[in-house]
Amino acid sequence: MFCATFLGLLTFPQSTSAPASKDQSDLFDRVIANQKRTESALDVYERIERVEIRKSGSDANPFEVKAWRVFPAGTGMDKISLGPGDKPANLENYRAELEKLEKQLVWAAQRGPAQQEAYAKLERKRKERNELLNSTHDAFLFALVGHEVRGDRSLAKYTMSPNPKYKPTNRNTTLFTKVSGTLWIDVQSSELAKIEGHVTEDISLALFVAKVYKGSYFMQERYEIAPGIWLPTFQQYDFDGRKFLLPFSIHERSFYTSYRRVGPPKEAREIVLSELSKGAGERADP
């Protein structure tokens, strides 16, 4: 729950610690618009996701590694398990998962009452997320602290801190008062390139049955994976806390690679059918 809510930090307020100039306001307007546009690309792009799980954030090596092929299936994302080298561990099982995905895509491409309700439910979730994102407009104060170079790109670096005048509207937005961090914006494209955040006070969750401790950390990097499309390539969580009376730790590093546009369900199904006809061992060209 906390991890999902923390993603609300990936949009930006239009105010800073000093009165914003028109140029700066225009910049954040563009960043917000780009963020919404590129996030919608996840509905039509597949990817390979590899997650390294550690016992603590300082561990050099993970004790467990999981990998999936993540494929958009209309009303959600289908995850097909992969083995070492991000390849199918068992071709028979992999083919069975592709056949299941193909059926999901056939269903999602139809427009019956069940499909309409499923898409409506998805839209309601997006609306709720957008409302959470919109609340961040007033939750933070941003200050430009300099510029950095990443490859051949120039990144504007901003600090973010809780706005003391912000009044949370619900339990989820309360966490914004207990987080600070830094973000980097690609100067040329006005796209989010990197964001990191720290929990500055213990955060109570789920009617106080869980708590995330001060010092927990989050970071995400984004790159241009296609012209005008910036999506996550790396994400790190280092959260410690308790649920009921039991301690928990989440120390994960996720790598997102092999992004590829597969399109809406009708187009995506053709790709899956092509793979099935070729033996389902390799991804087919779109």
Q: Dihedral angle at the C-alpha atoms of 199, 128, 192, 66, nearest 10 degrees?
A: 70
What is the extent of the structural domain holding 106? 2-277
Instruction: Supply the pLDDT for residue 17.
Output: 39
Instruction: Supply the pLDDT for residue 16.
Output: 39
**47 domain-assigned:** yes
Pairwise CA distance, residues 198 & 220, whole Å: 12
Contact 153, 187 (CB under 8 A): yes
Which band of pLDDT confidence, cut at 50, 70 and 90, is reported for residue 246?
A: confident
**210 domain-assigned:** yes
> Mean of the per-residue pLDDT values for the chain?
85
pLDDT at 6 over 60: no
Instruction: Supply the pLDDT for residue 283.
Output: 60
**119 domain-assigned:** yes
**268 domain-assigned:** yes
Over residues 18-26, the mean pLDDT reads: 55
pLDDT digits (tens, 9 = 90+) for 30-43: 877 787 778 788 89
Number of domains in the chain: 1
Of 3-12, 74-83, 161-170, which range is least confident?
3-12
Pairwise CA distance, residues 265 & 71, whole Å: 10
**172 domain-assigned:** yes
**283 domain-assigned:** no
